[in-house]
Amino acid sequence: MKVRHTHILLLIILLGITVGACSVDRYIPEGEHMLTGVAVTCDDEEIQKTYMLGDYVVQQTNSKWFGAKVPLKIYSLSGTDTTKRSCRFWRKLGEAPVLYDSLKAERTMEDIRKVLNNAGYMKAEVEEFKMVKGKKVKVLFNVHPKERYSIRNIYRLVDDRGLHPFITVEDTAQSLLKRGVPFEVTALNDERNRIASYLRNHGYYKFTKEDVQFTADTARNSTEVDVMMRVKLHQSDGRTEATEHKQYTIGTVKFIADVNNPNEPTDSTHYKGYNFVHQGDLHFRKNLLISHSLVKPHALYNDNFFRRTYTNYTRLSAISFSNINLTERPGTDTLDCNIIVNHARPHSLGFDVEATNSAGDLGAALSTSYQNKNLFRGSESFMFKIRGAYEAITGLEGYEGNNYVELGAEATLGFPAFLLPYVKREWGTRHNASSEIALQYNMQDRPEFQRRVLTAAWRYKWSNLNQRVQHRYDLLEVNYVYMPWISRTFKEQYLDSLGKTNAILKYNYENLLITKMGYTYSYNSLGTREHTYGKNAYTIRFNIETSGNVLSAFSHLTNGEKNSDGQYTFCNIAFAQYVKGDFDYSKSVRIDKNNSVAFHGALGIAYPYGNSNQLPFEKRYFAGGANSVRGWSVRSLGPGTYNGKDKGINFLNQSGDIKLDLSLEYRAQLFWKFSGAAFIDAGNIWTIREYKDQPGGEFRFEKFWKQIAIGYGIGLRMDANFFIVRFDTGMKAIDPAYTGKDHYPITHHDFDRDFAFHFAVGLPF
């Protein structure tokens, strides 16, 4: 009954939405008009694009869902009797008609004029045109920028003689104001901020942007402006006598650690020119606090150094609170600095329980972790994690057992510094550098085989000051795959049976050694702390890695032994040799505050050579799923035109050496924390070489474009503040695995075959 009632309710909503537009007029009071359209036009389209004049419209029309005013049509289902519960329900769920407001129209025109005036268009005009039809009105704002003013001459008057070398000699070349450039108010403000920042970074602690003033003089019948910049003397308030600006020096630097109770005694020590005051035991090594501070005794005050020092302490996991206080010695040009830090709780425990469902086989996993944020009193982060999983496997015949058990342990040790010889600690501090050592062991026992994987890694990470660029360098990552036991049934069916042997499967069920080195470059135009959703922004990611070259060179030099497959071995284990590169680009274009378009393109190529004829399973590409071509379920697309027949090993055969992903997504804000998306995805994977177990999977320039799969669909997203929950439904449009009419499921669809549902956390790109 509940299902039937739900269907009836949905039908009523759809019918109401369909006819609701006819009854909107009754919700518009007499003498009022519903705003049905707002547009901004400009005599110069480039000016309109550059300054995004449409963003300054104060009053917008009713919100739209993918081009339709669905919330308004839901509201129109309510009726006019507000005493009814159903009326209040539909009105709360929907959105009332937006009534034209002349005051908001005036604000729109004033804001647009102000923006253009600040950009140098001092005589800009904005006109409003209203097109009324019945109880509805459309509004057009027509913008006339007119001529743009420019700077003719720049004069500098510096009242403080001590600042002459900075303003009139050293600093003039860096000035943002040049002859002939547009006269922009924003440029004047930027110049004030730049001068203030420049001087505060050279010791002038009390200098502010208010100490820089501009006056402008325009000639009659001319668009040229003479600008006078005046740097005033220092005056703390309007009553005291103006004096020259002081250049301050840092006196003492004192670290105050965990001093929370003024009634308790403190311990004081002096170390390397710094003072330390703390209550109880000092939880940090003194060198940790010194090395992450750019504030040095007897150095000139530098505002930038103070900001970066504060940032350095906030990124240390061992510190929960930090602050920096400055005290001026009376009658002097000396500043004493107190750096206050409190330690964070070093120990934490975590537990995770998860349920699994692999092709209908149910299971559960339990993991526990321990973390120490200050292992050696230098903000070293140590994490140890243990995970266990169990799964009841059904449908397997001819095997001794019918369950899957997995046990794993992982240990990671991170250092807030760049641990490399000849690299100064200060360099790592300036670039937010960190080093990490990781060790991991995984044990899998299945009815078909037993698998052991041991991983050890040493890597570095660093970034630039604005956090837009991130670097990661894997100095060495070693993966040792060991197969202690394989069932006789599995070997006979897939590995050793004449005429049925799968080369890809066989290669990945042998002992193998992978020694990887790699580098990853990431760029986010907004910085790593910002997501690009609904904004004009882009991200770039590039990765390259290689494996086995050092061992191959060593084997050739020493005439190393080969196994029966002609591969060099290290400690009697064949090692993988390959090179792999990935490029990923995403761009978001903002249409308005509720709508945006996002594009994503990714290309990956991996090439096995030397000691390897094919890639290890962990390094191969897969297509389909929540972050790929969403018309296909995960790992079910490709390679090329391959259409797997043996469902038992498709998870392995549907992998490749080349991957192409293209996506175009329209994103719209719906209501509350929900937004929607409509998307088109394209892509596939291919193999570098022709493998008999993957017919049709080889990449060929003359035909690869015919093998690109295309899918389309819609999605719903909920922003839960710290993460985004995503539901995407995809349909196949072009399926390269089929020929004839099945090649175009967009016109000959089979819902069971061509539909895919995806649940994920986070955006697809």
Final residue of a domain: which of 323, 343, 363?
A: 343
Q: What is the mean pLDDT of the chain?
A: 87
Closest CA to 762 of 626, 661, 637, 625: 626
Mean pLDDT of 560-582: 90
Distance between CA atoms of 56 and 49, rounded to whole angstroms?
Answer: 12
Distance between CA atoms of 441 and 480, rounded to whole angstroms?
Answer: 10
Shared-domain flag, residues 653 and 757: yes
Shared-domain flag, residues 253 and 221: no
Domain at 173, CATH number: 3.10.20.310
Question: What pLDDT is stored for residue 208 in this prediction?
Answer: 92
Closest CA to 685 of 638, 729, 755: 638
Shared-domain flag, residues 312 and 338: yes
Q: How confident is the model at residue 507 (pLDDT cuts 50, 70, 90)?
A: confident
136-to-29, 99, 161, 376, 484 alpha-carbon distances in Å: 11, 9, 65, 71, 77
Q: How confident is the model at residue 513 (pLDDT cuts 50, 70, 90)?
A: very high
For 188-213, the pLDDT digits (tens) are 999 999 999 999 999 999 999 999 99
Shared-domain flag, residues 168 and 202: yes
> Which tokens hold the place of 663?
């996506």
> Which tokens hold the place of 634?
């995960």
Question: What pLDDT is stored for residue 190 in this prediction?
Answer: 93
For 622-672, the pLDDT digits (tens) are 999 889 999 998 888 989 998 866 544 556 678 899 999 999 999 988 877
Distance between CA atoms of 258 and 252, rounded to whole angstroms?
Answer: 19
Final residue of a domain: which of 179, 200, 231?
A: 231
For 241-250, the pLDDT digits (tens) are 888 999 999 9
Q: Which of 412-416, 502-506, 573-577, 584-588 has the lowest mean pLDDT?
A: 502-506
In a domain? residue 352: no
Question: What pLDDT is stored for residue 1 in this prediction?
Answer: 40
Residue 34 has pLDDT above 50, yes or no: yes
Q: What is the 3-state secondary structure (H, E, C) of 699-738?
A: CCCCCHHHHCEEEEEEEEEEECCCCEEEEEEEEEEECCCC
In a domain? residue 436: no
> Which tokens hold the place of 131?
């097109």
Q: How confident is the model at residue 41 (pLDDT cuts 50, 70, 90)?
A: very high
Mean pLDDT of 54-70: 85
In a domain? residue 559: no
- Half-sphere exposure in the Cβ direction for 755 (13 Å, CA): 7
Shared-domain flag, residues 98 and 175: no
The answer to whether the peptide bond before residue 330 is cis (omega within 30 degrees of 0) is no
Closest CA to 603 of 518, 663, 549: 663
Mean pLDDT of 386-407: 80
Structural domains in the chain (count): 4
Question: What pLDDT is stored for residue 17 in this prediction?
Answer: 47
Closest CA to 317 of 383, 265, 409, 253: 383
Share of the chain above pLDDT 90, in %: 56
Question: What pLDDT is stored for residue 634 in this prediction?
Answer: 85
Residue 20 has pLDDT above 50, yes or no: no
Share of the chain above pLDDT 70, in %: 91
Final residue of a domain: which of 231, 266, 285?
A: 231
Shared-domain flag, residues 105 and 166: no
In a domain? residue 439: no
pTM: 0.82
Shared-domain flag, residues 27 and 125: yes
Shared-domain flag, residues 260 and 285: yes
Q: Are 732 and 631 in contact (CB under 8 A)?
A: yes
Distance between CA atoms of 180 and 190, rounded to whole angstroms?
Answer: 17
Question: What pLDDT is stored for residue 357 in this prediction?
Answer: 59
In a domain? residue 463: no
For 367-384, the pLDDT digits (tens) are 999 999 999 999 999 999
Burial class (CB in 10 A: 0-12, 13-18, 19+), 711: buried
Question: What pLDDT is stored for residue 19 in this prediction?
Answer: 45
Question: What pLDDT is stored for residue 677 in this prediction?
Answer: 93
Residue 2 has pLDDT above 50, yes or no: no
> Which tokens hold the place of 311?
């940032």
Question: What pLDDT is stored for residue 5 in this prediction?
Answer: 44
Question: What pLDDT is stored for residue 506 in this prediction?
Answer: 74
Residue 419 has pLDDT above 50, yes or no: yes
> Which tokens hold the place of 365?
């996993």
Task: Specify the higher pLDDT residue, 13 or 453.
Answer: 453
Mean pLDDT of 227-238: 86
For 443-475, the pLDDT digits (tens) are 999 888 889 999 999 999 998 877 789 999 999
Q: How confident is the model at residue 605 (pLDDT cuts 50, 70, 90)?
A: very high
Task: Specify the higher pLDDT residue, 458 or 362.
Answer: 458
Question: What pLDDT is stored for residue 288 in this prediction?
Answer: 93
233-to-136, 162, 240 alpha-carbon distances in Å: 59, 10, 12
Task: Specify the higher pLDDT residue, 227 or 363.
Answer: 227
Shared-domain flag, residues 158 and 129: no
In a domain? residue 669: yes
Q: Which of 57-71, 267-281, 337-351 has the lowest mean pLDDT?
A: 57-71
In a domain? residue 738: yes
DSSP string, 81-95: -TTSHHHHHHHHHS-
> Which tokens hold the place of 133?
């039809």
Shared-domain flag, residues 662 and 695: yes
Closest CA to 232 of 212, 248, 214: 212
**Contact partners, residue 655, CB within 8 Å, separation at least 6:** 504, 617, 620, 621, 622, 635, 639, 685
Q: Which domain holds residue 763?
A: 620-765
Residue 751 has pLDDT above 80, yes or no: yes
Shared-domain flag, residues 765 and 624: yes
Task: Specify the higher pLDDT residue, 472 or 49.
Answer: 472
For 257-305, the pLDDT digits (tens) are 999 888 888 899 999 999 999 998 899 999 999 999 999 999 999 999 9
Shared-domain flag, residues 192 and 314: no
In a domain? residue 221: yes
Question: What pLDDT is stored for residue 360 in this prediction?
Answer: 57
What phi, psi does 179 have (nearest 5°)?
-65, 135
**Contact partners, residue 177, CB within 8 Å, separation at least 6:** 151, 154, 187, 188, 191, 227, 229
Question: What pLDDT is stored for residue 708 in this prediction?
Answer: 95
